[in-house]
Amino acid sequence: MAEPIIMPKLGFDMAEGTLINWTVETGQEINKGDVIAEIETDKATIEIETTVEGTVLSLLAEPGDIVAVGTSIGYVGEPGEEAPEDGAAAAAAEPAEEPAEEAAPAAEAAPAPAAAQAAPAARDGHDSALPGGVKASPIARRIAEEKGIDLSRVMGSGPGGRVVKKDVEDFPVEEAPAAPAAAPAAPPQAGDLPPVKPTTPTWGEFPTGPDVEAVELSRMRVRIGDRLVQSKQYVPHFYVTTEIDMGAALELRRQLNDSIEDSASKISVNDLIVKAAALALRQYPNLNSHYYGDKLARYSRINIGIAVALEGGGLVNVTAYDADKTALGTLAAQNRDMITRAREGKVRPHEIEGSTFSISNLGPYDVDHFIAIINPPEAGILAVGSAQKVPVVLEDDTLGVGIRMKATVSVDHRVSDGAEAAEFMKLLKDLLESPMRLLI
């Protein structure tokens, strides 16, 4: 019997993913654990491994398609076996649409059930459902609106008959009658809206002309923007900055790296910062927490999210689990491996989840100082600049040259106050200025 290839759920808040490309073909033999596709989530581009084995009977989704979690995107079975029709592809997710609407009044009281989360999600702005039951990708919907195409007349070639970009582009415009005047929109239901959805102002009509290029934002870019606008709009940030003497830390790093032959295990400045922050968080658990309305989830494990810039734009946080307990050399090797794979689009799902505090380091870009936006529901994020040679006043009041690094912690004022954040930064400074404690 044919087994479906399912769009996986790679995070508690993932509702859909974009298929980037298939790495297998119809008729190909695959085994459990083989990489079969790359998908883009709101957080990263991830390689998907198959959980079934056999012959690829059909591939139902096309590159660029946005597919709901739980939807069949292909089938695997015995050679010569007939795969279910395309119309069955969305069956796993579609039944959740109506129940989700019925459950809307309770949406504020409790999280939506799993089935509802698997449905195409209107609340994230990527819904493909249109009046009359027509389903279309956001790009297809935009192109249809620009060309005046009635999507109910377009035959969809995506999973479950979903209208994708190519369907709209191939539809003869001259055959498309003007769309009838839209009926007054029904008032939105509670379940249709995100808990906190910032209102983005409209800056007028999109400019046109030969000197203007219209660039579609990726799902990741849109998600980053939405999430950080929400953070700045709803999280009361405050900031504490300190300057750290990095001379001893850099000397320790040099000595350690001189004794390490494997280049993959060499220690970076960022590894020292991650380790020091993790040890400091032991003493200030409020900063190692998540904010949930009237409750604070304080974590015994210290999992540091490390912001990684991606080639071509975008950002992903990889997670250094138990950073306070992990030996510095092991931490360095793990961090280097995760960061490299994140930039190659080969990060594993669990490596971009579970962070309890984040660090953004722009030191490698010769940035002196900056502040970072908190990644909700985390309570804080540390922004680190470069270690620079600067003139300093020595203990005997003479001038000398020192190596200084500025660091700023952004903290949710609902969780902590200035004094606690200042004490955290003082301990971080002490650990980096007396770095032998990072080896204990």
Query: Catalytic residue numbers?
Result: 413
**CA–CA distance, 37 with 25 (Å, rounded to integer):** 10
- Using an 8 Å Cβ cutoff, are 314 and 294 in contact? no
Question: CB of 346 within 8 A of CB of 331?
Answer: no
Cα 49 to Cα 357: distance, rounded to the nearest angstrom: 29
Q: Which residues pair with 38 in a beta bridge?
A: 21, 47
Q: Which helix or strand (DSSP H or E) is residue 21 part of?
A: strand 16-22
Q: Are 53 and 76 in contact (CB under 8 A)?
A: yes
Q: How far is CA 228 from CA 160, 235, 320, 420, in A?
A: 33, 10, 22, 24
CB proximity list for 399: less than 8 A, separation 6 or greater: 391, 392, 393
Report the C-alpha gap between 221 and 138 in whole angstroms: 15
- Give the Cα-Cα-Cα angle 324, 329, 330 (nearest 5 degrees): 70
CA distances from 310 to 45, 83, 141 (A): 10, 38, 28
The two structure tokens encoding residue 17: 């993913």
In Å, the largest CA–CA distance within the chain is: 86
Cα gap 81→55, rounded to integer Å: 9
Distance, in Å, from the CA atom of 305 to the CA atom of 355, rounded to the nearest integer, reads 5
CA 313/CA 386 separation, integer angstroms: 21
Say if CB 118 and CB 96 are below 8 A apart: yes
Cβ-based neighbours of 415, under 8 Å, separated by 6 or more? 286, 287, 289, 291, 296, 379, 380
